[in-house]
């Protein structure tokens, strides 16, 4: 049991980082991590699959976030309370003011943020991501490709700005 | 082995280090002679690198002791006896709607400690903090009673507080360990609030002797009747609280 706890302790900072990238709010992120760990610990014996523990926990946390998010749509004020606002969608105006990769990342839709974090930041394999999302590997790759293009476009805002200034 | 020219997927797999060494070599050779594709791939690599750097700080947060596995195990154990009840609560919470279920779950943990603690908690969430929106807003006198009757047919009538200037304005359904609850908020012209809270007595059929207690700046009058438990909550040391305390019958 202590061995399991040690493994979990190492992963918790990564879970918290992932949760913040989903909720954009530190305290609701920790609530999410907590319920993820509760779920993981109570279903450890029968549900824990072979393979990367991290990927399994990411999957639990992601599903819990989506469930809560979906349910909360009915109560817009609660949503604001938990996440500090609705999903920001990329727009032309926002593209121009995107100043850093992180800002651009924050403006991506939920699934694209999750994909980029899993693949580019955490280094999960396409197969592991496919299992988390329960889709074929090919689908992961095409969604990842779209996510990268979107991030690229938003980050390119930096370059657009000086060009606009020169026009004046 | 991938074929040349590489597909876009191959290029992503290259960026993500998911190609075999041999394939990796092939892509690198290809990129060396195709500057346009190469620029695109380098941009993806750079984005990934920037993202890793930008998010690395998020790993350095101070630890939250609430999230320690040992702590969570202890909590799970403590609550395992209540798990069945909680499952029911969450089920109701989902049908009542939204993340209010989370709040309601919090409420169930305190409800066992003191009589009608959940009524006080509901007052804080709804009347004081406005965190949970109303399910129903009264249009004129009488409609609030009709709303309440849809859920609690045998319950005591809503007390008439018009003499003190209070009228029922909104209602909210909640879930608790003891079953579904409803809270009606009364308001006077200057915005003071009193709540009327009703819920089943729970599986142990726990009926309350008439009583009163205050907790954290709030005062609750509670009693049982018609098969339900009730509480009326208001901020303590206000004219409204004194009025509630003196009213012998609701």
- pLDDT tens digit string along A49-85? 677 889 999 999 998 888 877 665 544 444 344 444 4
B48, B11 contact by CB (below 8 A)? no
3 state DSSP class of A87 = coil
pLDDT reported for residue B89: 46
Whether omega for the bond prior to residue B5 falls within 30 degrees of 0, making it cis, is yes
C-alpha to C-alpha distance for A111 and A42, rounded to whole angstroms: 27
Domains and CATH numbers, chain A: 1-86 (1.10.1740), 87-168 (1.10.10.10)
A3-12, A98-107, A133-142, B13-22: range with lowest mean pLDDT = A98-107
The alpha carbons of chain B give a radius of gyration, in whole angstroms, of: 29
B76 contacts chain A (CB < 8 A)? yes
How many CB atoms lie under 10 A from the CB of residue B56?
11
pLDDT reported for residue B177: 72
Residue of B nearest to A27 (CA): B64
ipTM above 0.85, yes or no: no
Taking all residues of chain B, what is their mean pLDDT, rounded to a whole number? Answer: 80
B109 contacts chain A (CB < 8 A)? no
Q: Alpha carbon of B70 to those of A32, B96, B163: distances in Å? A: 17, 33, 55
Nearest Cα to Cα of residue A137 among B17, B46, B18 = B18
B91 contacts chain A (CB < 8 A)? no
Classify residue A43 by its DSSP letter.
Answer: T
In the stretch 2-41 of chain B, residues with CB closer than 8 A to chain A read 8-9, 12-13, 16-18
Domains and CATH numbers, chain B: 8-59 (no CATH), 84-246 (3.30.200.100)
Look at A75 and B70 and tell me if their CB atoms are within 8 Å: no
Test the B interface: residue of A31, A57, A75 with most B CBs within 10 Å: A75
Kindly tell me the burial class for residue B86, based on how many C-beta atoms sit within 10 Å of its own C-beta (0-12, 13-18, 19 or more).
middle
Between residues B124 and A48, which one has the greater pLDDT? B124
pLDDT reported for residue B162: 86
- pLDDT tens digit string along B65-85? 889 998 888 888 776 555 444
Q: Which residues of chain B have pLDDT under 50?
A: 83-102, 106, 108-112
> Which neighbouring-strand residues pair with B181?
B174
Look at A72 and B131 and tell me if their CB atoms are within 8 Å: no
Mean pLDDT on A37-47: 80
Q: Give me the percent of chain A exceeding a pLDDT of 70.
A: 71
Q: Which chain A residues contact residue B18 at CB under 8 A?
A: 125-126
pLDDT reported for residue B33: 93
Which of A37, A120, A126 minimises the CB distance to B48?
A120
> Which neighbouring-strand residues pair with B233?
B195, B220
pLDDT reported for residue B197: 93
Residue of B nearest to A81 (CA): B131
Residue appearing with tokens 């004219």: B239
pLDDT reported for residue B50: 87
pLDDT reported for residue B11: 94
pLDDT reported for residue B141: 64
pLDDT reported for residue A157: 57
């Amino acid at each position: 049991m202590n061995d399991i706890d040690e493994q979990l302790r190492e992963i918790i900072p990564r879970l918290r980082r992932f949760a913040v990238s989903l909720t954009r709010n530190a305290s609701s992120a920790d609530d999410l991590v907590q319920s993820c760990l509760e779920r993981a610990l109570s279903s450890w014996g029968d549900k824990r699959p072979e393979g990367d523990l991290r990927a399994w926990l990411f999957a639990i946390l992601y599903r819990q976030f989506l469930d809560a998010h979906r349910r909360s749509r009915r109560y817009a004020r609660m949503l604001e309370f938990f996440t500090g606002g609705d999903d920001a969608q990329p727009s032309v105006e926002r593209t121009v003011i995107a100043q850093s990769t992180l800002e651009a990342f924050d403006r991506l839709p939920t699934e694209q943020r999750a994909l980029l974090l899993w693949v580019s930041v955490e280094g999960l394999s396409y197969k592991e991501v496919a299992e988390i999302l329960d889709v074929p590997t090919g689908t992961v790759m095409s969604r990842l490709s779209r996510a990268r293009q979107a991030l690229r476009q938003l980050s390119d805002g930096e370059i657009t700005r000086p060009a606009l200034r020169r026009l004046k | 082995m991938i074929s040349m020219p590489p597909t876009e997927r191959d290029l992503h797999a290259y960026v993500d280090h998911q190609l075999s060494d041999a394939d990796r070599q092939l892509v690198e050779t290809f990129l060396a002679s195709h500057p346009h594709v190469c620029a695109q791939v380098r941009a993806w690599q750079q984005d990934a690198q920037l993202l890793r750097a930008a998010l690395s700080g998020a790993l350095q947060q101070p630890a939250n002791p609430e999230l320690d596995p040992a702590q969570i195990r202890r909590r799970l154990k403590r609550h395992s006896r209540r798990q069945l009840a909680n499952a029911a609560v969450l089920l109701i919470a989902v049908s009542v709607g939204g993340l209010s279920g989370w709040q309601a779950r919090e409420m169930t943990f305190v409800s066992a400690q003191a009589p009608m603690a959940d009524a006080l908690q509901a007052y804080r969430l709804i009347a004081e903090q406005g965190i949970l929106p109303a399910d129903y807003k009264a249009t004129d006198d009488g409609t609030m009673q009709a709303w309440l009757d849809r859920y609690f047919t045998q319950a005591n009538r809503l007390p008439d507080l018009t003499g003190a200037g209070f009228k029922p304005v909104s209602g909210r359904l909640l879930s608790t360990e003891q079953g579904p609850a409803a809270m009606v908020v009364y308001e006077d012209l200057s915005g003071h609030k009193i709540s009327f809270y009703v819920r089943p007595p729970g599986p142990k059929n726990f009926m309350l002797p008439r009583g009163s207690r205050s907790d954290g700046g709030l005062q609750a009058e509670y009693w049982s009747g018609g098969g339900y438990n009730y509480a009326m909550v208001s901020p303590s040391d206000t004219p409204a609280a004194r009025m509630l305390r003196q009213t012998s019958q609701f």
